[in-house]
Amino acid sequence: MGSLDTNPAAFSVFGDEAAGGFQPLNAEDVRSYLHKAVDFISDYYKSLESLPVLPDVKPGYLQNELQAAPPTSSAPFDVAMKELRASVVPGMTHWASPNFFAFFPSTNSAAAIAGDLIASAMNTVGFTWQANPAATEMEVLALDWLAQLLRLPASLMNRTAAGRGTGGGVILGTTSEAMLVTLVAARDAALRRSGSEGVAGLPRLAVYAADQTHSTFFKACRLAGFDPANIRSIPTGPETDYALDPAKLLEVMEADVAAGLVPTYICATVGTTSSNAVDPVGAIADAAALFNAWVHVDAAYAGSACICPEFRHHLAGVERVDSISMSPHKWLLTCLDCTCLWVRDTHRLTDSLETNPEYLKNDASDSGAVTDLKDMQVGVGRRFRGLKLWMVMRTYGAAKLQEHIRSDVAMAKMFEENVRSDDRFEVVVPRNFALVCFRIKPHGGMTEEDADEANHELMERLNRTGKAYLAHTVVGGKFVLRFAVGSSLQEERHVRSAWELIKKTTAEIMQD
Amino acid sequence: MGSLDTNPAAFSVFGDEAAGGFQPLNAEDVRSYLHKAVDFISDYYKSLESLPVLPDVKPGYLQNELQAAPPTSSAPFDVAMKELRASVVPGMTHWASPNFFAFFPSTNSAAAIAGDLIASAMNTVGFTWQANPAATEMEVLALDWLAQLLRLPASLMNRTAAGRGTGGGVILGTTSEAMLVTLVAARDAALRRSGSEGVAGLPRLAVYAADQTHSTFFKACRLAGFDPANIRSIPTGPETDYALDPAKLLEVMEADVAAGLVPTYICATVGTTSSNAVDPVGAIADAAALFNAWVHVDAAYAGSACICPEFRHHLAGVERVDSISMSPHKWLLTCLDCTCLWVRDTHRLTDSLETNPEYLKNDASDSGAVTDLKDMQVGVGRRFRGLKLWMVMRTYGAAKLQEHIRSDVAMAKMFEENVRSDDRFEVVVPRNFALVCFRIKPHGGMTEEDADEANHELMERLNRTGKAYLAHTVVGGKFVLRFAVGSSLQEERHVRSAWELIKKTTAEIMQD
């Protein structure tokens, strides 16, 4: 059957090797491989500043560098490490680079990486409480801690001074999953309420979000089977800084009800991806309450800032929503993946997501006294994600985490002031957190089209230097550059250098 | 605002600390925390054999041991490590224990943990090719390597000698996600084919699987909006060793078509969770072809065995299916989470899952020459999961991986022979891989109920010893013990000890 096969006839079950055959977790290998990995990481972080943020490689480059077929024989771990250094690193977009200003940063910390490493080694699968009591309870505890840092209402917590209520949380992989599971719960509840036989009533359910909402929301709605014709993207404009206008939302919902539809779910965003707009959570909850619609708050990025009292007002009204999610893997120093979802009534989730196969039955689950986290997510299997999140909070404490947020915001503010002080540029929307949306503004006879072209050219040239990576968006029909501060190795000098580079490159473009 | 707040007024932006404020990736901390984590892991693996596999803790135990509120101030990393050792470890179900025989093992290796560690430190988010060319191409390459190890048809691969075809793969978190995304693709294709306006035709679509199929399949169908009344669980029995009978499947599909329904999706399992039954993939594909229904193969556990030629026949017919998924995090030495999905036509996935927000637009994506992996999954964000899987194959090669599978199967075979040689026990279904389903059989005047009770008691007593952890299932109405060999620290002596413990405990039960 080809060269990949070893010969089963020649295979000796309990080992030619003195130590008793192949030992994938041999103590010496574990230590040696992990120490090599730590050395690599240390070197990698040191070299990051000098590496191009965005690589100059063509599609298919890696397949051309590495062998196309898997090896038959084993090789020293050094071989994989060598190929990693020689072929993988040069083709990477370095999200950990201090010169990374694109998208939102994926912030990280020594405590998070260590926690994640231990989780990988323990490799437990805590689908039920019994399958891992400590992992389940650590996750529940970490979520309750974070809820306290965010001053979420007790109704969203697993355990409060008053004991266990109906609220609770779960750590998922992505915001999209948080949206999907709450959409499904809201969908099923609406179908039940409307007396639908099976999913016959599905074509009548409608869902709502501002047009600035992350595209993954609209995708999650389609995944959950909502009719594309009933997925409402409500226009926003500069008059609300691109936040959802509750009056418009109400209008659209009323028109839908008049047309026989059932408003089922509204997604409010605190800190949109495009420009960090903040939808008014409380007013949206009030409008939704008129129709018994589920309100979810997506605070993936900006939720982290709300651990600082001076930003907490962006969540005002959260005590009246049904669910909220935020991702510590974005801005709370916890490596991927880690999205926290809290819901006011966990039964509304588990009603839709519970499974109960024979081989998972156990006394603890039967007692109802425990949380089986598999019933609050898409899958069954799950990493021990609570550990890294808990380690981050345990080690840094509220003080350092707040310092981290404030430092990023201060650097963004500094950058914003630089932009404002230069007549060639404009800040396009007010800066709420650590994202600055700016552009070369039409000046010296430039049209709007010229400006769009100049901004596009500016981004391309900056990114080609390898010394900075910025992404763009379109706000109000204008091509806008997004400068997102916060990569965890970033210091003030990196922001200053990027600004110098932007000024220099802009001058060059203006000359051309 | 309470004790959690640090005072923003007193906050100095660019640091009181000489080094320039809080540095979450400070080089010294990274090295020191990771070395502490490696030491912990090393100690943990060494002590595992003596730790109870299943802990003796009560619901809420951890909340009672650790502080209920997040700390305000930072603490040395040692504090978190100390609480981990003192409070978390004693409450864990140790999946890595050599005495773990429950569920399916989550196998692991030094290479995988090191790869995962590096991924955590790089912390990249390769949603598009441009957002990380190397991570995207490494994932594509790892999937093509594994496809070759499994002898999957070239039509399922990303790149073959003939260039890029329509097939391809993606690494997801769980089998459930693989099922969900393919269900949605099949659903949308069926709606388009039937000329449905929006989702109006959804109540007519039907999906199929054997009653032994993992419960997560039936849940995924509900998530995707299929009508619960049209989710068919087809009965199986001992005459097929609990595998799906294609004749029965055909019968059910024909009856559905006669009733105006549209057969849309069939899930075939290679290695069911309950008893490792193997659905006949080729015959199912033939039946499905009559109705243009999507066939997905769930080979989550047993797929790994198919890298050995002597097990490959279980995938016979896979060249005629639409998609297949398997999870290296189960039996291919790759820590959680890592589920590989291959599809014959990636466009059928991306038609349903593509998003194209402005801030992700880039020349590479526009060219169509690259794979943007976000369009083959639920979410947008994604860990660099390809690295660990590639490192496992690169380091161990086909030979060691096959040795690993064969060693587990040989140990299971040894256990099976032990069971067969003892008149008090029976093997309930033929052993296909490394799972032995066995029970105390009714003997000496025992009724079937007595036997069920004795087996339940046997499991409870075994698990209470802390020296072994087994799960159960119900097959053909009988309570059956599942003995799953393969935890990565397991050696022959652990299997022998478990068997001795089973015999001794059974004797005690028989005496009582």
State how far the Cα of B153 lies from the Cα of B297, in Å rounded to an integer: 14
Which residues, 6+ apart, have CB-to-CB distance to B64 below 8 Å? Answer: none
Confidence of residue B10 (pLDDT cuts 50, 70, 90): very low
The answer, for A488 touching chain B at a CB cutoff of 8 Å, is yes
Kindly state the average pLDDT of the residues A487-509: 97
**Measured between alpha carbons, how far is residue B184 from residues A208, B141, B187, B226 in Å?**
21, 26, 5, 10
B138 touches chain A (CB under 8 A): yes
How close does chain B come to A247, measured CA to CA in Å? Answer: 26
CA-based radius of gyration for chain A: 25
The number of beta carbons lying within 10 Å of the beta carbon of residue A153 is 16
pLDDT higher than threshold 50 for residue B123: yes
Fold assignment, B173-330+343-382:
Aspartate Aminotransferase; domain 2 (3.40.640)
In a 3-state reduction of DSSP, which class is residue B435? strand
B89 secondary structure, DSSP code: G
Mutate to test the interface with A, among B3, B23, B25 (most CBs of A within 10 A): B25
Compute the distance between CA of residue A118 and CA of residue A455 in angstroms, rounded to an integer.
45
Rg for chain B, CA atoms, rounded: 25
| pLDDT of A16 strictly over 70 | no
Specify the pairing of strand B205-210 against strand B231-234: parallel
Residues of A in contact with B491 (CB under 8 A): 20
Beta bridge partners of B435: B484
Q: What is the mean pLDDT of residues B418-432?
A: 97
Assess whether pLDDT exceeds 80 at residue A161: no
| Residue B78: count of CB within 10 angstroms of its CB | 12
Chain A: nearest CA to B499, how far in angstroms?
18
Residue A4 has pLDDT above 60, yes or no: no
Per-residue exposure over A473-491, b if at least 16 CB sit within 10 Å of its own CB, e if not: bebeebbbbbbbbbbbbbb
Distance (Å) from the C-alpha of residue A368 to the closest C-alpha of chain B? 10
Instruction: Quick: pLDDT tens for A166-207.
Output: 899 999 999 999 999 999 999 999 999 999 999 999 999 999
B13 pLDDT above the threshold of 70 = no
Report the SS3 class of residue B227: coil
Look up the ipTM and state it: 0.96
Q: Residue A68: what are its φ and ψ, rounded to 5°?
A: -80, -20
Q: Is the pLDDT of residue A326 over 90?
A: yes
Q: What is the DSSP letter of A278?
A: B
Helix axes of A346-353 and B215-223: crossing angle, nearest 10 degrees:
110
Give per-residue pLDDT as tens, A142-151. Answer: 999 999 999 9
Three-state SS annotation for B27-54: HHHHHHHHHHHHHHHHHHHHHHHHCCCC
Name the average pLDDT for chain A.
Answer: 94
Mark yes or no for CB contact A38/B41 under 8 Å: no
State the count of interchain CB pairs (< 8 A) between A and B: 605
pLDDT single digits (tens) B51-99: 999 999 999 999 999 999 999 999 999 999 999 999 999 999 999 999 9
**Residue B316 zone, left/alpha/beta (φ > 0; ψ -120 to 50; rest):** beta
The 10s digit of each residue's pLDDT in A272-306 is 999 999 999 999 999 999 999 999 999 999 999 99
Q: What pLDDT, on the 0 to 100 scale, is given for residue B357?
A: 87
CB A229 within 8 A of CB B198: yes
Q: Which pLDDT value is given to residue B14?
A: 41
Nearest CA in chain A to B47: A27
DSSP state of A174: -
Does residue A304 contact residue A339 with C-beta atoms inside 8 Å? no
Distance between first and last Cα of chain A: 62
Q: Is B44 a catalytic residue?
A: no
Q: What is the pLDDT of residues B148-179, one digit of tens each?
A: 999 999 999 998 777 777 899 999 999 999 99
Give the percent of chain B with pLDDT over 70.
96
Residue A55 has pLDDT above 90, yes or no: yes
User: In chain A, what residues touch B333 (CB-CB under 8 Å)?
Assistant: 24
Assigned superfamily of B23-52+55-91: dopa decarboxylase, N-terminal domain (1.20.1340.10)
pLDDT at B360: 85
User: How far is residue B508's CA from residue A121's CA, in Å, rounded to a whole number?
Assistant: 37
**pLDDT of A230:** 98
* Token representation of residue A316: 């005002």
Cα distance between residue B371 and residue B365, in whole Å: 8
Q: Determine which one of B33, B44, B301, B359 is catalytic.
A: B359
Instruction: Give the H or E element holding residue A296.
Output: strand A294-298
- Residue A6 above 60 pLDDT? no
Q: Is B493 exposed, middle or buried (0-12, 13-18, 19+ CB in 10 A)?
A: exposed
Mean pLDDT of chain B: 94
Burial state string for A259-285 with b = 16 or more CB within 10 A and e = fewer than 16 = eebbbbbbbbbbbbbbbbbbbbbbbbb
| CB–CB contact B25 A109 (8 Å) | yes
Q: B274: which residues sit within 8 A by CB, 6+ positions away? A: A357, A358, A359, B212, B242, B437, B473, B474, B475, B482
Q: How many other CB atoms are found less than 10 A from the CB of residue B58?
A: 11
Q: Can you say whether residue B176 is alpha, beta or left, with left for phi > 0 and alpha for psi between -120 and 50 degrees? A: alpha
Distance CA B327, CA B306 (A): 12
Band of the pLDDT at A19, cuts 50, 70, 90?
very low
Give the DSSP H or E segment for B177. helix B175-193
3-state class (DSSP) for residue A84: helix
Residue-level pLDDT at A324: 98
Cβ–Cβ under 8 Å, residues A302 and A278: yes
Closest CA to B481 of B501, B462, B465: B462
Question: Any idea where the domains of chain A sit in the sequence?
Answer: 27-91, 114-394
Say whether residue A116 is in contact with chain B using an 8 A CB cutoff: yes
Question: Phi, psi (5° rounding) for residue A494?
Answer: -70, -40
Fold of A27-91: dopa decarboxylase, N-terminal domain (1.20.1340)
User: How much is the pLDDT for A20?
Assistant: 60
CA distances B95 to A126, B53, B114, B330, Å, are 10, 8, 19, 11
Q: Which CATH class is domain B395-511?
A: alpha beta
Q: What is the pLDDT of residue A411?
A: 98
What separation in angstroms does the CA of B4 have from each of A510, B13, B39? 50, 19, 33
Question: In the block, which residue shows the tokens 């039955």?
Answer: A361
CA dist A89 and A96 (Å) reads 12
Q: Dihedral (C-alpha) A388, A394, A399, A404: value to the nearest 10 degrees?
A: -20
Please determine, for residue B359, whether its predicted confidence score (pLDDT) is greater than 90: no
B166/A461: higher pLDDT: A461
According to DSSP, the β-strands at A163-164 and B262-269 are unpaired
Among B29, B223, B397, whose Cβ lies nearest the Cβ of A378?
A: B223
In this complex, is the C-beta atom of B95 within 8 Å of any C-beta atom belonging to chain A?
A: yes
The position carrying tokens 């389609």 is A222
Examine the pLDDT at A11 and tell me if it is beyond 80: no
Which residue, chain included where needed, has tokens 């009560």? Answer: B58
* Per-residue pLDDT reduced to its tens digit, A388-420: 999 999 999 999 999 999 999 999 999 999 999
Residue A57: per-residue pLDDT: 96
SS3 B193: helix
pLDDT score, position B20: 60
Q: What is the pLDDT of residues A87-124, one digit of tens each?
A: 999 999 999 999 999 999 999 999 999 999 999 999 99
Using a 10 angstrom Cβ sphere, with 0-12 exposed, 13-18 middle and 19 or more buried, the burial of residue B281 is: buried
pLDDT at residue A7 in the model: 47
- A499 CB within 8 Å of a chain B CB: no
CA B40 to chain centre: 26
Q: Are B478 and B463 in contact (CB under 8 A)?
A: no
Q: Which residues in chain A (148-167) have CB-CB distances under 8 A to chain B?
A: 148-149, 151, 159
Per-residue 3-state assignment (H helix, E strand, C coil) for A480-492: EEEEECCCCCCCH
pLDDT reported for residue A13: 41
A81 to A87, A197, B76: CA distances (angstroms): 10, 57, 31
Q: Does domain A114-394 have CATH number 3.40.640.10?
A: yes
List b or e across B129-147, with b for residues whose CB sees 16 or more CB atoms inside 10 angstroms.
Answer: bbbbbbbbbbbbbbbbbbb
Q: Using alpha carbons only, what angle is made at residue B493 by residues B392 and A362, rounded to the nearest 5 degrees?
A: 80
Both tokens of A480, joined, read 């806008």
pLDDT in tens, B229-263: 999 999 999 999 999 999 999 999 999 999 999 99
From the list B76, B278, B441, the residue with the least C-alpha distance to A396 is B76
B58's CB contacts (< 8 A; 6+ apart) are none
Q: List pLDDT tens digits, range B442-480.
A: 988 999 999 999 999 999 999 999 999 999 999 999 999
φ, ψ of residue B321 in degrees (nearest 5): -95, 170
Question: 3-state class of B207 per DSSP?
Answer: strand
Mapping DSSP to helix (H, G, I), strand (E, B) and coil, where does residue B275 land?
coil
